[in-house]
Chain A
């Protein structure tokens, strides 16, 4: 945020804050131990507001649940902002001191009256007003979000709209006030920190900055291309154009995790060379020319990961890998050696120390300190620096240090996959408590709560379509279709359905999802698919009941499903953040 890609607050501050907003986050199930910190705050008397299309188990703890229509987050943010401004609750002194673009922002939000906000988001006007006043009046407030904000074709704009709210109210840069994106995976943050993004070198140093490049070029003895690379969606576009012909996938299974599976598999199969380095022979691995068996980084190798509070923590080797599997770092060193670069003996700590010498924000994090302090949040400039609990306190300093924080001019844009009479139901996807992503890891243990994939429907919709719990139905989108049993879920509002991506060997949910992606982050719109639900004819239902094969078929589409009518964004892949 404002130049540093990480959340501004710590979990401890969440315990001490006065108001928490969970926006597009079901932390109770997807970040359960973070939610323990939220619960501590609630027991202290803090208030919780949950913005989510579903009345989730997190929402059950909330003072109020704002049941938002999928993909209308910017509309809600702007409506909240307008109400805050018109009620005289904007923190004008902070805005004047620390931000730019406020006048333009006022113009942007002015049309978003409570009435228009209610019409666009489905959230009752009085609830929008209540949250606006509560957030602006709170002494301290933390705004948290997860994939409900980012897995949209305009996910980056969604985030910027939330940041605007924090700037408007001064809820950033102070103890207990901040912005917290809860990271979906144990080292998403660390991947960004280490420069595994197309526009930054390690430590969020801009690749187009000649001074930055010169530093790395001196250390590495190579020339670094001075332009931004491709993010994942752009890589798939480049495959489509025939410009990207070789891919090396490390610990990623795009054949199952990407939206629009059919297209993804076609593009991966069309590569000249696909190398997959993974701990399992994944579906992507089965498409590969070369498979490099790797170790499980969190228990079979040494290294670090970075958490949602920017805390760098050590992972350690506890068990030996299976025969033939090698540490990722060892594989990469060996590959370099065969390409004519001898980097010496592979060592996680040596690689880390090299990073510390090049990334100022990690400079003070020696392995010894990480060990002694149980992890350190970045930035940590030197070995006598404790790391920053929260970021951007500079915005409050007088005189302010550094650049002011800009309001972002972002417009509400509804989801790409439009609802119409043929595809009248909004399908959104997410995780359940006991499972994780494509289920490869969590499939390894037996959970008493696990019930396999279902399409969760609102009770009203189940009645409308004449389907009942456990009944297999045909779910179709403009891209594909799957057969899946129904689960009736009263936490869903009419017109909203829910599925996970956990059981793709049984139900290939990503046959349905759309690959419309956010142009800035490359994240696919997993959260907003237009679907229809059809009863299966009686014989098909009987047949389906005994069937063991994965369900989900590519086109040809049945007569009832038309060719894509709506404008779909140019083909792209996507990534999970």
Chain B
């Protein structure tokens, strides 16, 4: 036995030790690990930065522009969520220019998109004094399908005195989700969750250009005809309620959705052996929605169709009778 020649197992693959990078944010010095973003540095200092398109589990795409900050030496404002820190950076997050820019972005979003289901939006608007109404009342919504047929460059201005909108009827084409693109700010989160950041199904993408850009399936087919596998991970990341479980949508339509009465409980999915944490949202004794915590290292907030929707058997036991079995182990 040549025990003395056995090498130690190869080392754990760690990244090179991260250096600490020093910068100044709003006059305060801070050191954060190399590779961090300005947003991370702000968080380290307890500076609350507004974000809409950012999520820690997704690759930043810099599209909503509400997190922009002023960086000394940079002509343009930079997105805090993606800009990596560099030694000696001088950042201002609450300058007049930053406040004005954030206010304008919020007004443009709020004048064209129904933001009523985004709790963050109202607080951001209040913080920056944004008044979306100053662009006039929202123009009437487009008829169903019109925005999906729009070609780049064929934008028609809204009626005089009204604000152009992305309004259109809710798309209801299956029993599990609805897509209410009148609430869509094109943050790309759903596209990323469906794509390389999680599900890798690539059922949806941004189609069109400019104001006519929208989220679409291939050739705008209905979801049941698309590549969608109903994991619901797009819904899990949507910040504005544009994507919603059909059950929630229907309850809201009937006036039965009462979030103030919801309680949440974390448990483990009853299906396969991966062990995904499910957060059960319960209203008046019934499960009404299932999510997964973003910070969970098994799921990163993502689930499959069974975890997301497979709970319903618990509440329709009578129908389940005779349908065979709880399962063998």
Contacts and interface: CB of A to CB of B under 8 A. Distances in A.
A439 B324 contact: yes
Contact of B310 (A11, A284, A320, A441): A441
Contacts of A320: 285
Contacts of A252: 325-329
B323 interface: yes
A317 B304 contact: no
11 contacts: A34-B274, A36-B198, A96-B2, A186-B273, A251-B327, A280-B324, A282-B326, A299-B267, A316-B266, A319-B286, A576-B327
B328 A12 contact: no
Contacts of B265: 299, 316-318
A272 B319 CA distance: 30
B280 A322 contact: no
Interface in B285-329: 285-287, 296-300, 302-307, 309-317, 319-329
A433 B304 contact: yes
Interface of A: 11-12, 16, 30-34, 36, 39, 43, 93-94, 96-97, 139-140, 173-176, 182-189, 191, 196, 251-258, 278-284, 286, 296-300, 305-309, 311, 313-320, 322, 374-375, 393, 396, 398-400, 433-449, 504-505, 575-577
Given A96-B2, A139-B10, A319-B286, A440 B313 contact: yes
B327 A437 contact: yes
B268 A313 contact: yes
B176 interface: yes
Contacts of A281: 321-322
A375 B195 CA distance: 29
B53 interface: no
A283 B322 contact: yes
A307 B298 contact: yes
Nearest to A317: B265
Contacts of B298: 11, 33, 307, 311
B178 interface: no
B74 interface: no
Nearest to A258: B328
A183 B273 contact: yes
Contact of B305 (A173, A311, A433): A433
A447 B306 CA distance: 9
Interface stretch (B145-153, B180-188, B222-230): B222-230
A505 B328 contact: no
Contacts of B176: 445-448
Contacts of B286: 319
B317 A437 contact: no
A445 B231 contact: no
Given A34-B274, A309-B275, A447-B230, A318 B313 contact: no
Contacts of B304: 32-33, 433
A12 B298 CA distance: 8
A280 B297 contact: no
Contacts of B4: 398
B325 A280 contact: yes
Contacts of B306: 433-436, 442
Given A283-B322, A319-B314, A257 B10 contact: no
B319 A182 contact: no
Contacts of B311: 299, 444-445
A551 B328 CA distance: 22
A253 B312 contact: no
Nearest to A39: B200
Contact of B287 (A97, A299, A447): A299
Nearest to B198: A36
Contacts of B229: 433, 449
Contacts of B228: 448
Contacts of A96: 1-2
Contacts of A435: 306
Closest 4 CB pairs of A and B: A253-B325, A183-B273, A307-B275, A444-B313
Contacts of A436: 271-272, 306, 310, 327
Nearest to B272: A31
B223 to A, nearest CB: 7
B76 interface: no
Contacts of A438: 324-325, 327
B46 interface: no
A251 B326 contact: yes
Contact of B328 (A31, A176, A253, A433): A253
A97 B1 contact: yes
B328 A576 contact: yes
A257 B275 contact: no
Interface in B160-189: 174-176
B11 to A, nearest CB: 8
A283 B322 CA distance: 6
Contacts of A93: 2, 5-7
Contacts of A182: 272-274
B269 interface: yes
Contacts of A253: 324-328
B277 interface: yes
Contacts of B321: 280-281
B12 interface: yes
A43 B298 CA distance: 18
Given A93-B7, A252-B328, A298-B270, 4 more contacts: A255-B325, A300-B314, A441-B310, A442-B310
A183 B303 CA distance: 17
Contacts of B276: 33
A96 B7 CA distance: 12
A398 B296 CA distance: 36
Contacts of B326: 251-253, 278-280, 282, 440-441
A259 to B, nearest CB: 11
A295 B24 CA distance: 56
Interface in B17-67: none
B107 to A, nearest CB: 38
A187 B2 CA distance: 42
B199 interface: yes
A139 B304 CA distance: 31
Contact of A449 (B9, B230, B316): B230
A143 B198 CA distance: 22
Nearest to B225: A448
A35 to B, nearest CB: 9
Contacts of B285: 319-320
A374 B282 contact: no
A349 to B, nearest CB: 15
